[in-house]
C-alpha cells in the first residue's frame, strides 16, 4: 500500500484538487493521503500559511484580525464552492480559523505552531469531505488520532520513536485516511510543527509507520533534475536515485526534499517517488535503497558556492601524531562545523561553508594554527564552490574521474582540490566560485549529452 503526499501547489485550487482526486482514485493502494495547506494559485497569490502568519502577528500584537480571518476563510470557501461541497464543511473551517483568536496569548509556547498548523489541518478536512462527496470512502484523521507524537520543540518538532507503533495501527482502517501534514502533538496535547518541508516529514513518518510499499511525494515538477535548471536548459529528470545519492545532491545545492523528510523513510527502508501532480503519467524520480539498474553511473551533477578552505603547511607534518585531530579540535572549540579534509604529506586543508566563519573566528583559527600547531604557513581561501558528481555505481567503474577531469580541463577549469571518498557515491571537486556554472555545464555535457 502507498502513502501519497501532496504539496501546496497541488492543492491550491479546485482544478488542482480534481487532479489529486483522480490520482488517489486511480490506484486503490493509495490509502494514506498527507496534505499541505493550499499554496499559491499564481505568482502573485498568497499561501494560506503566510496569511496565517500575518493573522498570528496581528492577534499577538493586539491588532484587528477580522480582515485576515476573512481572507483565509474565503480562500477555503472559493475551493469548497467550486467543488460544490456543502456549507457544513466551510462553516467548520470558519469556526476553527476564528477560534484561533481566542487562544491564550501568554504562557502559550505553541501558539505560533497552532496558528500555522490550521492551514494543513483545515485543508485535510476539506479534502476528506471532497473525496467523500466524489464517492471515495475517505476520512479525515487528526495527527493526535493518527499517533504522530512529537518532542516539545516549537517549529522544530521531532517524532518520538514510540509513535511508530501507534501509527502502525492505522493499517486497521479500511477507508482512505486524509492526514494533515506539518505537525504533530506533544505528550501534553499541544500542536507542534516540524521544521521546513514539514508535510514531507509527515508523509515520510506515516510511510515508515504503516510500512508502506511506496511513499509518493507529489510536487509540481517531473521529479528531480540531473542538474540545476537555472544552469542547464531542460535538464533530464533522474529516473532512479538512492537515498545516499539524494543526500549528496542535497548537500551540494539540490533542494527537493530536506534530510528530515528522508530519514524516516530511509530508516524504514521505504522507497519514495517524486512525481508531478500536473503530469502524473511521468514516472518521476524514484528514491530507493539500492539501484535496480547498475548501468547508470552518474545520476546527477550538483554545485554549491560559499565554501572556504583553511590551508596549512608544515614541514614533517605527517610525522606529527595528532596534528589533524588538534586542528579539528580548534574548529570544534570555536563551534565550527567542517566538511572535508584533503591532505598532502606536509599539507592539510579543511573545507567548510563560509557561514561557519566570521572575521573574528578566522583570526582565532589562524592564531591557533600559528601559535599552537606551529604551522609554517596558514591561509584562509574564500569564494570556493564545490561540484559533486553523484552516482553510487561509479564505485569500481574505471574512467569516471578521467572523463570528469578531462572535461573540466578542456573547459579551462582549474581544479583546486579533489576528494573522492571510499564509498565513491560521489566525486567532489573544489573550484573557484566564478567557474562553478561553467564546471557544471562541462560535466553535464560530458555525462548526459
Residues that bind its own copies (CB under 8 A): 243-244, 247-248, 251, 259, 263, 266-267, 309, 311, 313, 315-316, 318-319, 321-322, 324-325, 328-329, 331-332, 335, 337-349, 381, 396, 398-399, 401-402, 405-406, 408-410, 412-428
Nearest CB to its own copies, comparing residues 20 and 431: 431
State the Cα–Cα distance between residues 74 and 65, nearest whole angstrom: 14
Nearest CB to its own copies, comparing residues 98 and 328: 328
Q: Whole-number minimum distance, CB 3 to its own copies, in Å?
A: 21
Following DSSP, what letter does each residue of 30-63 receive, concatenated?
Answer: EEEEEE-----SSTT---HHHHHHHHHHHHHTT-
222 is annotated as contributing to ligand binding: no
State the Cα–Cα distance between residues 204 and 217, nearest whole angstrom: 9
7 is annotated as contributing to ligand binding: yes
Nearest CB to its own copies, comparing residues 160 and 418: 418
State the Cα–Cα distance between residues 42 and 44, nearest whole angstrom: 6
Q: Whole-number minimum distance, CB 186 to its own copies, in Å?
A: 24
220 is annotated as contributing to ligand binding: yes
Q: Whole-number minimum distance, CB 421 to its own copies, in Å?
A: 3
Q: Whole-number minimum distance, CB 127 to its own copies, in Å?
A: 33
Q: Whole-number minimum distance, CB 394 to its own copies, in Å?
A: 10
Q: Within 10 Å of residue 359's Cβ, how many Cβ atoms? A: 7
CA 162 to chain centre: 24
Taking 3-state DSSP, the helix, strand and coil percentages for the chain, each rounded to the nearest 5, stand at 40, 20, 35
Q: Whole-number minimum distance, CB 179 to its own copies, in Å?
A: 25
Q: Whole-number minimum distance, CB 316 to its own copies, in Å?
A: 6
Nearest CB to its own copies, comparing residues 370 and 418: 418
Phi-psi group of 83: left, alpha or beta (phi > 0 → left; psi -120 to 50 → alpha; rest → beta)? alpha
Q: Is 449 helix (H, G, I), strand (E, B) or coil?
A: coil
State the Cα–Cα distance between residues 397 and 291, nearest whole angstrom: 15
Nearest CB to its own copies, comparing residues 102 and 335: 335
For residues 285 and 239, the answer to whether their CB atoms sit within 8 Å is yes
Instruction: Establish how many alpha carbons lie within 13 A of residue 415's alpha carbon, considering only the half-sphere containing its beta carbon.
Output: 20
37: cell is: 495547506
Determine whether 298 is exposed, middle or buried from the number of CB atoms within 10 Å of its CB (0-12, 13-18, 19+). buried
Q: What is the DSSP letter of 354?
A: G
Q: Within 10 Å of residue 28's Cβ, how many Cβ atoms? A: 11
Nearest CB to its own copies, comparing residues 233 and 319: 319
Q: Whole-number minimum distance, CB 332 to its own copies, in Å?
A: 5
Q: Whole-number minimum distance, CB 382 to its own copies, in Å?
A: 13
- E-strand ranges in 85-182 read 138-140, 149-150, 176-180
Nearest CB to its own copies, comparing residues 101 and 334: 334
Question: What are the phi and psi torsion angles at 347 (to 5°)?
Answer: -130, 150
Partners of 159 in the β-ladder: 150
Helices (DSSP H) in 230-358: which residue ranges?
243-251, 259-267, 323-333
Nearest CB to its own copies, comparing residues 133 and 158: 158
49 is annotated as contributing to ligand binding: yes
Task: Please identify which residue in the block is written with the cell numbers 545545492.
Answer: 253
162: cell is: 514510540
Nearest CB to its own copies, comparing residues 71 and 251: 251
**Where is the binding site, in residues?**
5-8, 49, 120, 219-220
**Where is the binding site for ATP, in residues?**
5-8, 219-220
**Where is the binding site for substrate, in residues?**
49, 120
Amino acid at each position: 500500500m502507498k502513502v501519497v503526499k501532496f504539496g501546496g501547489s497541488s492543492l491550491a485550487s479546485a482544478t488542482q484538487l480534481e487532479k489529486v482526486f483522480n490520482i488517489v482514485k486511480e490506484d486503490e493502494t493509495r490509502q494514506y493521503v498527507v496534505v499541505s495547506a493550499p499554496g499559491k494559485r499564481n505568482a502573485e497569490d498568497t499561501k494560506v500559511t503566510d496569511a496565517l502568519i500575518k493573522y498570528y502577528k496581528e492577534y499577538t500584537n493586539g491588532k484587528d484580525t477580522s480582515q485576515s480571518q476573512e481572507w483565509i476563510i474565503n480562500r477555503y470557501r472559493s475551493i469548497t464552492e467550486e467543488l460544490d461541497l456543502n456549507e457544513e464543511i466551510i462553516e467548520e473551517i470558519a469556526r476553527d480559523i476564528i477560534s484561533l483568536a481566542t487562544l491564550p496569548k501568554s504562557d502559550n509556547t505553541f501558539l505560533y505552531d497552532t496558528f500555522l498548523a490550521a492551514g494543513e489541518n483545515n485543508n485535510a478536512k476539506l479534502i476528506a469531505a471532497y473525496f467523500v462527496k466524489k464517492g471515495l470512502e475517505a476520512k479525515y484523521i487528526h495527527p493526535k488520532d493518527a499517533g504522530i507524537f512529537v518532542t516539545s520543540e516549537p517549529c522544530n518538532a521531532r517524532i518520538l520513536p514510540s509513535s511508530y507503533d501507534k501509527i502502525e495501527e492505522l493499517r486497521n482502517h479500511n477507508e482512505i485516511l486524509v492526514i494533515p501534514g506539518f505537525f504533530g502533538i506533544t505528550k501534553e496535547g499541544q500542536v507542534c510543527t516540524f521544521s521546513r518541508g514539514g508535510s514531507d516529514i509527515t508523509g515520510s513518518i506515516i510511510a515508515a509507520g504503516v510500512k508502506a510499499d511506496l511513499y509518493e511525494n507529489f510536487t509540481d515538477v517531473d521529479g528531480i533534475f540531473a542538474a540545476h535548471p537555472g544552469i542547464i536548459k531542460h535538464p533530464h529528470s533522474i529516473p532512479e536515485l538512492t537515498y545516499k545519492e539524494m543526500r549528496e545532491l542535497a548537500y551540494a545545492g539540490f533542494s527537493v526534499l530536506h534530510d528530515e523528510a528522508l530519514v524516516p523513510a530511509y530508516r524504514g527502508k521505504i522507497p519514495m517517488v517524486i512525481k508531478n501532480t500536473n503530469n502524473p503519467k511521468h514516472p518521476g524520480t524514484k528514491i530507493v535503497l539500492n539501484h535496480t539498474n547498475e548501468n547508470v553511473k552518474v545520476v546527477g551533477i550538483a554545485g554549491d558556492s560559499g565554501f572556504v578552505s583553511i590551508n596549512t603547511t608544515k614541514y614533517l607534518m605527517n610525522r606529527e601524531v595528532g596534528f589533524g585531530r588538534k586542528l579539528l579540535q580548534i574548529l570544534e572549540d570555536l563551534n565550527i562545523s567542517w566538511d572535508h579534509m584533503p591532505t598532502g604529506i606536509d599539507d592539510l586543508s579543511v573545507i567548510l561553508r563560509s557561514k561557519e566563519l566570521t572575521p573574528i573566528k578566522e583570526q582565532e583559527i589562524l592564531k591557533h594554527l600559528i601559535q599552537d600547531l606551529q604551522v609554517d604557513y596558514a591561509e584562509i581561501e574564500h569564494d570556493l564552490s564545490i561540484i559533486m558528481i553523484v552516482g553510487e555505481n561509479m564505485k569500481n567503474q574505471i574512467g569516471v574521474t578521467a572523463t570528469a577531469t578531462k572535461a573540466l580541463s578542456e573547459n579551462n577549469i582549474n581544479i583546486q582540490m579533489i576528494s573522492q571518498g571510499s564509498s565513491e557515491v560521489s566525486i567532489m571537486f573544489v573550484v573557484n566560485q566564478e567557474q562553478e556554472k561553467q564546471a557544471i555545464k562541462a560535466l553535464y555535457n560530458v555525462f548526459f549529452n
